[in-house]
Amino acid sequence: MEDVPMPDGQILMDLITVTMPFGKYKGTVLRRLPVSYLEWFSAKGFPKGKLGMQLQTLYEIKLNGLEGLLDSLKRK
């Protein structure tokens, strides 16, 4: 049986603590970025590296109506 990598919970924690390092929303916690901004990145291309992965993850969460997942993390 193949080893299936476990999801990294730190990725979700980062979405509620890390701030956007550049652009119009510089200093905004990633969780608070508007969907329209994430849609723009989706169309133009997400940044490379960890930030791009975080933004893409957040986009998928918001697109699928799973923001409550992040809310429950913040309460903990």
Find out whether 71 and 41 touch, Cβ atoms under 8 Å: no
How buried is 33 (Cβ within 10 angstroms: 0-12 exposed, 13-18 middle, 19+ buried)?
Answer: buried
> Is 1 within a domain?
no
pLDDT(8) > 90: no
> Is 2 within a domain?
no
Q: How many domains does the chain have?
A: 1
8/63 Cα distance (integer angstroms): 20
47/22 Cα distance (integer angstroms): 11
> Is 4 within a domain?
no
* Domain containing residue 59: 9-75
Answer whether 0.75 is exceeded by the pTM. Answer: yes
| Cα three-residue angle 52-72-8, rounded to 5 degrees | 40
> Is 19 within a domain?
yes
- What tens digit of pLDDT does each residue of 15-71 get? 999 999 999 999 999 999 999 999 999 999 999 999 999 999 999 999 999 888 887
